[in-house]
Each structure stands twice: as structure tokens, then as C-alpha cells.
Amino acid sequence: MIRYYRMTVMSSHAVADAGAGPRIERSAAPLRQQVADRLRDAIISGRLPPGARLIERELIAGMGVSRTVIRETLRQLESEGLIAMIPNKGPVVRALTLAEAADLYSIRAVLEGLAARLFATRADPSHVARLARALDLTAKAYKKGDPARIFQAKAVFYDVLFEGAGSETLSLMIGTLHGRISRWRSLGLGHPQRSPARSQEAVRNLRALVTALRRRDPDRAERIIRHEVTRAATEVTRLLGRSPAARVDDTKAHAAPAVRTR
């Protein structure tokens, strides 16, 4: 199953450039996956801002991998909608636009609504129990107010939900969608003007969702999760309207500074 993308927890001393820091270590995971994960996390967390250029030779030097690995990684991130290829300039981090946010959240509501409906009819008791435990961790993360912890706790919650839905095709579709929407979620969760009431509402909605799933009520479960996604979209759209990042246009990305790896 495609995992819900997670936000890497970085210290306040983390470097801004994705290629800086330790070189990629050889491990069981393919090199391309390791490089893609590092660059994706940097984009989602905002360390690589919209419009930032990704210089191939600097990524190669900074990460200690081959040109082939870097090029394959950049193609993958382009397919995920995280970067764009600008003629005569190369790859840049794609802009955050309000129009795309609205579009993605509308699709998310439909797909997650279907996942909730399928979970209610297909999930076994162990999935329900795991979902309840994941909800408890999510509620604790919200109480602590740590955006990275909230992001990761909710990732576990949704992983269980999609697994319990029992549809590999749906999981693949949602995984691709979440790869793109994570940038908006990350920005929204960490925004200084995020409404505390919205965080409380999110926990209430997730509790109501788990209750509906325990009762095997697919209609109510779908309504609840679609409502939650709609409320999340409203909050993110409000916050993005206040963010300079939401006003960056891909056509102007060539003017952005290049990403340095050292």
C-alpha cells in the first residue's frame, strides 16, 4: 500500500538546502527512494520554498549519488506534482496556488469518503482497534500542539483507514493525491494564525468517524470524513490567502534563487 507521506521532523538548526548535510548512505532502500524522500520532505516542510531551483550538479555533489539517480528522482517528483520543468531553467519547486488547493481537497473528500465507506463494510476488528489507538495518538499530538507530531500521528491514522478499506487501487490513488496535498497540510498545521478551534474540531470529527466505523455505519462515516475534509480545506484556504507562498506563479519560477547544496 502507498503510505501517507510524512513530514520529517527537523531541528531548528537544520540546513535549508536539501542537498546539504550527510551524504546519502547505502542501505536496503534504493538510492532513488532515499534521494526522493529527502527532497520530498524538504519541499513539503517548506525548506525548499516555491520557485526554488534544483541544480542537478549541486544535488549530485551534495548527496553523493549519480546523475542518473538525480534525474530519475526529479522525474518522479515532477510526476507527483511537486516540481515543474521550466524551459531553459530546469526543475523548480512548484507554486502553491489556491485554485489547486481547492481542486485537490475536493478530490480528497471523495476518495476518503469512499475509503471510510469501504472500511465500515470490510475492515476486521483488528483494524478498528488499531484505528482507535491511532486516534488516541492523534488527539495527544494535537494537545501538545507540535505540527510535525500531528502530521505524523494523522499519517498513521489514515494508513490504518486505507488499509482497512481493502482496496489497493484506492490506496494507490490516495497515496498519489496525498503526496501533493501534504504541502498544503504541512503549511496549514504549522501556520502561526491557525485557529485553535479548528484543531479541536478536527479531533471531534475523527472521534465521530471512529464511532461510526465501530458501528459499521458506512453512510455516516462517509458524511463525517467528507465534512472533515471540507472544513480542513476551508481553513487551509484561509491561511494560504495570507501566505506569500500561495502567490508564487510557476511562470515566474525562473526568477527564484537556485538551491545550493553546500
Tell me the three-class secondary structure of the chain, residue by residue. Answer: CCCCCCCCCCCCCCCCCCCCCCCCCCCCCCHHHHHHHHHHHHHHHCCCCCCCEECHHHHHHHHCCCHHHHHHHHHHHHHCCCEEEECCCEEEECCCCHHHHHHHHHHHHHHHHHHHHHHHHHCCHHHHHHHHHHHHHHHHHHHHCCHHHHHHHHHHHHHHHHHHHCCHHHHHHHHHHHHHHHHHHHHHHHCCCCCHHHHHHHHHHHHHHHHHHHCCCHHHHHHHHHHHHHHHHHHHHHHHCCCHHHHCCHHHHHHCCEECCC
Please determine, for residue 69, whether its predicted confidence score (pLDDT) is greater than 80.
Answer: yes
Cβ(74)–Cβ(103) below 8 Å: no
* Residues ≥6 apart with Cβ < 8 Å to 156: 134, 137, 138
Question: Across the strands, what pairs with 84?
Answer: 92
Confidence of residue 7 (pLDDT cuts 50, 70, 90): very low
Closest CA to 158 of 145, 143, 170: 170
Give pLDDT tens digits for 92-112.
Answer: 999 888 888 899 999 999 999
CA–CA dist 256, 116 (Å, integer): 41
Position 29 scores a pLDDT of 60
pLDDT tens sequence across 236-262: 888 877 655 554 344 343 334 444 433
When mean pLDDT is compared across 32-41, 113-122, 239-248, 249-258, the lowest value belongs to: 249-258
Mean pLDDT across the stretch 180-208? 89
pLDDT over threshold 70, residue 218:
yes
The pTM assigned to this predicted structure is: 0.75
- pLDDT value for 11: 30
Domain ranges of the chain: 31-96+248-259, 98-240
Q: Helix 56-63 and helix 31-45: axis angle, to 10°?
A: 110
Average pLDDT over residues 130-135: 98
pLDDT recorded at residue 249 = 43
In the prediction, which pLDDT does 16 show? 34
Give the separation between CA 190 and CA 48, rounded to whole angstroms.
16
- Return the higher-pLDDT residue of 259 and 225: 225
User: What pLDDT was estimated at residue 26?
Assistant: 53
pLDDT in the model for residue 70: 95
Per residue in 16-26, pLDDT (tens digit) is 345 544 555 55
In the predicted structure, residue 8 carries a pLDDT above the cut 60: no
How large is the average pLDDT for residues 211-237? Answer: 96
Phi then psi for residue 54, to 5 deg, are -110, 105
Query: For residue 85, which phi and psi values (nearest 5 degrees)?
Result: -95, 115
Non-local (6+) Cβ contacts of 90 within 8 A are 53, 54, 55, 56
User: Quick check: 44 pLDDT over 50?
Assistant: yes
CATH architecture of the domain formed by 31-96+248-259: Orthogonal Bundle (1.10)
What are φ and ψ of residue 143, in 5° steps? -65, -35
Class of domain 98-240: mainly alpha
The alpha carbon of 200 is separated from its chain's Cα centroid by a whole number of angstroms, namely 21
**Helices 31-45 and 67-79, axial angle in degrees (round to 10):** 50
Per-residue confidence (pLDDT) for residue 23, from 0 to 100: 57
> Residues of the chain with pLDDT > 70: what percent?
81
Choice between 2 and 205, residue whose per-residue pLDDT is larger: 205
For residue 244, the model assigns a pLDDT of 53
